[in-house]
Structure 1
Amino acid sequence: MSALEELWLKHYDEGVPRHAAYPEEPLPSILHRNVQKWAHKPITNFYGAVLTYGDLWRQISRMAEALSRLGVKKGDRVAIMLPNCPQYVVSYYATLWLGAVVVNTNPMYVEREIEHQWSDAGVKVAVVLDHLFPRVEKVYSKIGVEYVIVTSFRDALPRHLALLYPLKARKQKLFTAVPYSDRVLPYGKLLKSNPPTEVQCPATLDDIALLQYTGGTTGISKGVILTHRNIMANVVQITKWFPDLEWARERIVCILPFFHVFGMTACMNWALYTGSYMLLIPRFEINEFLKLLHKFRPTIFPGVPTIYVAIVNHPDIKKFDLSSVKFCITGSAPMPVEVINRFEKMTGSIIVEGFGLTESSPVTHCNPLHGLRKPGSVGIPVSDTECKIVDIETGERELPIGEEGELVVRGPQVMKGYWNKPEETAQALRNGWLYTGDIAKMDEDGYTYIVDRKKDMIIAGGYNIYPREIDEVLYSHPKVLDAVTVGVPDPYRGETVKVFVVPKPGETLTPEEVISFCRERLAAYKVPKLVEIRESLPKSAVGKVLRKELREEELRKQKQAS
């Protein structure tokens, strides 16, 4: 046993095993087995509409039959472009039951982003929300998507809210008259017209379950291949990390989007595996969110720093009772110590910070729930996960305690590779180790600290944003000569997007023009919040824009202003 392994073991809680046993069956089979145990137990709550395990499985079975009749078979790709709602859970598990592959699609994507992702994945069928359909309508035919299944929140709301939904949708300008056809099909009618499937799940643990798209140093979105084994392992690892978890009794807040790997694993799949009751929330609006928490009385609250910051700073927070929360899991961005302290004092709960990435399903590290928690650290590796810090230049030399280098990890949750990208797969996976691209260091107790990112990725409000993609949009503007994107600290979002733009000679350009141009071509969370018009940008001797120098300049400005 290495010295580092001994350090890790010293800090594992007695109830958290260093190694875990994993089920020898895929995700949908485990859900089907749980239905037999908990058929009458409530599993989802969507604005008061409650589904039991039995109700949920009947919908999954009918959806699986519908997809099968549309020609979906093992290995086919099904895109799901939905916020958190029962239809997401149904579509996800119906797809997996057929041995098909889920392609998670962010509902905020614009036409260009949808077209790239679905074309690259070879999507056969897509399930989308009605008011997102106008975007999908412009691209699905030309990239070979055979069918689009359209659903509405109305399909899942309680009767009284369903009756009012059309009025509310029109008021919020979300109402869309969908032109149904032989290729554009209504979700509700499909469920009603199809019987429960008789198809048996053909998936094995090593079959692909998910293509989860992420970016990289080039800004080109690529599909992370996650198998049933990868996702199942991570669900078990999270479960083992929290020995106090009470099976079939917990209530989990599902505000993290399921289309993101963190929410998919640490909310939806974890809940269905452990029999936890899910509060499904499709969007974060602080006043509505606090009312739902007060009424639902959750016990487990996975979130991102942005959400906790909003809660502790709410002017009427004392009106809401959050004392039912036992523990919270946070990741995706550093959590301010002051926010941790205030939230824990307010609720009596415990917040543990962790770390992960899309390529690892996602969780690799976490602070122990009852053991030593170190603010600013992402903790120690979860069960059956190893990590080390290696030199940035070669990635081959392991560095000593305290020295900064690239974090590499390995474990059963690590991806199979990138979809149709063998060269990038070979670069990321070397001798069984996943090279994370994150610069980190390890202390004398084996706790890991993320120092910087090898990639220039920006994390704003829990969303991963790739500067190169925004750069490319800016360069397509007819008035732009030069441009670069950086992430700058933001007290609410963690980071926010700032762009530096140089107009072409003789042209004038305003920040408002830049933002408007980006809004038409990027998902809302990627649109720059700050724009600075400059005469020139700092560059290296070979003409490369010095992104890091601009970021450091912004940090100095913020420091002087404070």
Structure 2
Amino acid sequence: MSAYDDKPWLAVYDDGQPATTTVEFGTAVEMFRATVARHPDADAIRYFDGRISYAELDALSDAFAAGITAEGFAPGERVALYLQNVPQFVIAQVGAWKAGGIAVSINPMNKERELAELLADSGASVLVCLQSLHRDVAAAVLPGTAVRTVLTTSELDLQTQDEPAVFAGVERIACPGTTDLLEFLERHRGTACPAVDLTADDVAFLTYTSGTTGPPKGAMTTHRNVVFNAQTYRDWVGLGQDDVVLGIAPLFHVTGLVGHIAVALLTGAPLVLMHRLDPALTLRTAEAERATFTVGSITVFIALMNAPDAEKAQLATLTKIYSGGAPIPPSTVQAFRDTFGHYIHNIYGLTETTSPSHAVPHGAEAPVDPASGALSVGVPVYDTVVRIVDENGAELPVGEIGELVTAGPQVVAGYWNKPEETAKALPDGVLRTGDVGYMDPQGWFYIVDRKKDQINAGGYKIWPREVEDVLYEHPAVREAAVVGVPDEYRGETVKAFVSLRAGVQATPEEIVAFTKERMAAYKYPRQVEILNEIPKTVSGKVLRRELREHP
């Protein structure tokens, strides 16, 4: 069932009518070029003290496209981006599109085995990577791959600011057998960009799933997907050229690709990049750049709250805040508002939905389910139909728990070179999300958990999310994650892993007692282990598989 069926929640819109977004551009390149024509001199990227205008980004990405084409790149080939949050990522991504190519975003935390797997799966012929990543990882992997052109770059490029929190120990290094990216761009500057025939249904990038449920799969995100959800962010949040996008999400992740890069390319707003996340630096940068909008994992906002000397004034202008990728405890939303004065709007989506399929309308606050304590992830965004189904695919009534099945213009075309996986997860182009939840009578959706994460303790079914929400209420708990572990008597029992707030102490026994007072006897964790950090993907999803294997 869709939240549009009865439309009781539409009061959050000023005109009381369901809004729809219009796909104005066929491809992301057309979207970008329209912005260049409107605002050529406006900042496209701000990277410490470096500035790149939209006209300059257009020229640099033209040079990239011309250069790789001169070296034999053909439309449909792949360009792998093995970078942190640096301007070169955006230049190469737009340049790859202009050459008719597909950008392949790779987690810069990936090591040799993981990089080799993604290069082999994507068949990338061009690799753009940081010098340090080439030296430490890529150089050993590249022989035997399809990569013909290797362009290396430094995080020190395109800015001159000395920032110890980010650049301590970083220096430019030689990478034999590669070409320096900035020299490559300068050599091809002014060369005519190749004419290619792109359509909305061509693949814009391969976004690899996080691997929390198995080997990563390359989701084929089309230009139509990118353009649609860029406009979704723009219209849902109310973004325009006067906004400033704070780039806290990793650019290789779908949130960064769409919620940061595509949003900026559409609206003409500047994108502020900081190489990688440092909480104190992020707060200073948000204040200095007068950032107005961001979207990222809740773990980032927890880190900002716990940053030394964090002050409310540092985020005074950051009024448009969204968070997705991991469950958000209501207590954390309130703690953030107590600290900085702003509400965190929930947003929900997957790699396969090109970022949002659901969101809390800007200015509205998500309800909390009184039974479970779960915070709503919002309502389906424009032109999106979401149903709750049982194990057999039959639609369930309002309020009943089942799997979310999503259809809309943001759903990806499938998985790269994996027709069987595509048929299983995307039958007839409709996404079986694997997430379990329900819709309330007012049309708000709630995520209970991943199907595979449900714990069965002596026949009692327990969702980790509910236990985690209670753990977050403990004043000493900074982060929490719950898994099922083998138990001789119950078959499976609840184990919690927590990290503690700085300067606050608590014992496992105290935390067990805290939850025991607040939950049914079969739900509270019998075991609690305190860790320095909860293992997560870079997008903030808890690696439950790793916790289950924890000694």
Fold shared, TM-score > 0.5 on shorter chain = yes
Deviations 1:509-560 (A, max 9, x none): xxxxxxxxxxxxxxxxxxxxxxxxxxxx55899xxxx7xx354576997533
1:421 equivalent in structure 2: 418
Question: Could you tell me which residue of structure 2 aligns to residue 526 of structure 1?
Answer: none
1:285 aligns with 2:278: yes
Relative distance call for 1:540 and 1:211 in structure 2 (3 A) is farther
Offset at residue 14 of structure 1 (A): 2.9
Is 1:406 aligned to 2:406, yes or no?
A: no
Alpha-carbon deviation of 1:310?
Answer: 2.2
Quote the Cα distance in structure 1 between the aligned partners of 2:482 and 2:118: 23
Asked if residue 100 in structure 1 is aligned to residue 101 in structure 2, the reply is yes
Q: Is the 8 A contact 2:83 2:128 kept in 1?
A: yes
Q: Distance in 2 between matches of 1:539 and 1:436?
A: 33
Taking the aligned partners of 1:10 and 1:142, their CA distance within structure 2 comes to 56
CA contact (8 A) 1:325 1:347 kept: no
SS in 2 for 1:51: strand
Contact kept? 1:305, 1:494, Cα under 8 Å: no
* 1:273-422 equivalent positions in 2, closer than 5 A: 273-318=266-311, 320-371=313-364, 373-375=366-368, 376-391=375-390, 393-394=391-392, 396-422=393-419
**1:27 aligns to 2:28 (yes or no):** yes
1:533 aligned residue: none
Q: 1:454 aligns with which of 446, 451, 455?
A: 451
Matched, 1:203 2:205: no
Which one-letter code corresponds to 1:559 in the other structure? V
Query: What code does the residue aligned with 1:397 have?
Result: A
Structure-2 residue corresponding to 1:560: 513
Question: Alpha carbons of 1:412 and 1:319: their partners in 2 closer, same or farther (altered >3 Å)?
Answer: closer
1:180-195 matches, within 5 Å, as 180-181=176-177, 184-195=178-189
3-state SS of paired residue (2:125): strand
Q: State the distance in 1 between where 2:2 and 2:25 align.
A: 30
List per-residue Cα deviations over 1:81-139 (Å, max 9, x = no partner). Answer: 11111100000000011110011100000000000111011110110011111300011
Note closer, same or farther for the CA distance 1:84–1:554 as it changes in structure 2 (3 Å cut). closer
What letter matches 1:386 in structure 2?
V
Q: Which residue is equivalent to 1:521?
A: none
Q: Is the 8 A contact 2:112 2:140 kept in 1?
A: yes
1:433-482 CA-to-partner distances (Å, cap 9, x unmatched) read 2100001111111111100102449xxxxxxxxxxxxxxxxxxxxxxxxx
Over 3 Å counting, the alpha-carbon distance change for 1:91 and 1:497 in structure 2 is: farther
Q: Take 1:187 and 1:349, find their aligned partners in 2: how far apart are those partners?
A: 40
**Secondary structure in 2 aligned to 1:437?**
strand
1:51 is displaced (CA, Å) by 1.2
What letter is aligned with 1:191? Answer: L
The alpha carbon displacement at 1:50 in A equals 1.1
Q: How does 1:70-149 map to 2 (within 5 A)?
A: 70-133=71-134, 134-149=136-151
The 2-side partners of 1:2 and 1:93 are apart by: 35
Letter in 1 for 2:103: V
SS at match of 1:5: coil
Aligned residue type for 2:234: T
1:237-282 deviation per Cα after TM superposition (whole angstroms, max 9, x unaligned): 1212124x3x211111011111000111111110120111111122
For 1:4-19, what aligned pairs fall within 5 Å after superposition?
Answer: 5-7=5-7, 10-14=10-14, 17-19=18-20
Separation in 2, partners of 1:35, 1:254: 20
Range moving further from structure 2, 342-351 or 297-306: 342-351
Find 1:212's aligned residue among 203, 207, 216. Answer: 207
Matched residues in 1 for 2:210 and 2:301: separation? 26
Relative to structure 2, which stretch is displaced further, 122-131 or 201-210?
201-210
**Structure 1 421/344 Cα, relative in aligned 2: closer, same or farther at 3 Å?**
same
1:430 aligns with 2:427: yes
Local SS of the residue matching 1:273: helix
Matched residue SS, 2:55: helix
Counterpart CA distance in 2 for 1:337 and 1:414 is: 28
Percent of aligned pairs sharing the same letter: 32
The answer on whether the counterparts of 2:209 and 2:217 sit within 8 Å (CA) in structure 1 is yes
Distance change in 2, residues 1:120/1:348 (3 Å): same
Please give the TM-score of this superposition, normalised by the length of structure 2: 0.80
Distance in 2 between residues matched to 1:385 and 1:292, nearest whole Å: 35
Give distance in 2, aligned partners of 1:259 and 1:374.
31
Alpha-carbon distance, 1:33 to partner: 1.9
Match of 1:151 in 2: 153
Q: Following TM superposition, by how much is the alpha carbon of 1:496 offset from its aligned partner in structure 2, in angstroms?
A: 5.5
In the superposition, relative to structure 1, how do residues 495 and 282 fare at CA in structure 2: closer, same or farther (>3 Å)? farther
8 Å contact kept, 1:333–1:494: no
SS in 1 for 2:252: coil
- Report whether the alignment pairs 1:253 with 2:227: no
Contact 2:105–2:208 (CA under 8 A) maintained in structure 1: yes
**Structure 1 segment 544-555 matched on structure 2, within 5 A:** 549=492, 551-552=494-495
Q: Classify the secondary structure of the residue corresponding to 1:383.
A: coil
Q: Could you tell me how far apart the structure 2 residues matched to 1:440 and 1:211 are?
A: 28
For residues 141-161 of structure 1, what are the alpha-carbon distances to aligned partners after superposition, in whole Å with 9 as ceiling and x for unaligned?
222211211000222113x64
Partners of 1:130 and 1:21 in 2: CA distance: 41
Pair 1:179 & 2:172 matched: no
TM-score by structure 1 length? 0.79
How far, CA to CA, are the matches of 1:495 and 1:65 in structure 2? Answer: 49
Amino acid at match of 2:6: E
Residues 496 and 71 of structure 1, relative CA distance in 2, 3 Å threshold: farther
Note if 1:36 corresponds to 2:37: yes
Q: 1:291 & 1:497 partners in 2: Cα distance? A: 34
Deviation at 1:75?
0.3
- 2:530 aligned partner: none
What amino acid does structure 2 have at the position aligned with 1:7?
A: K
Give, in angstroms, the shift of residue 211 of structure 1. Answer: 0.8
Name the structure 2 match of 1:444.
441
Q: Decide whether aligned partners of structure 1 residues 3 and 349 sit closer, same or farther in structure 2, where only a CA change above 3 A counts.
A: closer
Unaligned runs of 5+ in 1: 458-485, 501-536
Partner deviation per Cα, 1:197-250 (whole Å, 9 max, x = no partner): 33234211011111111156861111111110011111111212124x3x2111
Structure 2: distance between partners of 1:142 and 1:292: 42
How many angstroms does 1:336 deviate by? 2.6
Task: Tell me the amino acid that sits aligned with residue 210 of structure 1.
Answer: F
Q: Decide whether the 8 Å contact of 1:40 with 1:54 is kept in 2.
A: yes
Does residue 222 of structure 2 align to residue 227 of structure 1? yes
Of the structure 1 ranges 73-82 and 234-243, higher mean CA displacement relative to structure 2 is found in: 234-243
Contact 1:291 1:320 in 2 (8 A): no
Return the alpha-carbon distance in structure 2 between the equivalents of residues 17 and 3 of structure 1: 11
Q: Kindly indicate whether the alpha-carbon contact (under 8 Å) linking 1:13 and 1:370 is maintained by their aligned counterparts in 2.
A: no
Decide which moves more: 57-66 or 75-84.
57-66
Report the equivalent of 1:464: none
Q: 8 Å contact 2:50–2:158 — kept in the other structure?
A: yes
Shift of 1:337: 2.1
Q: Is the 8 A contact 1:29 1:201 kept in 2?
A: no
How many residue pairs get aligned? The number is: 480
Distance 1:98 1:313, change over 3 A: same
SS in 1 for 2:256: helix
One-letter code aligned to 2:185: L
What is the one-letter code of the residue matched to 1:411?
A: G
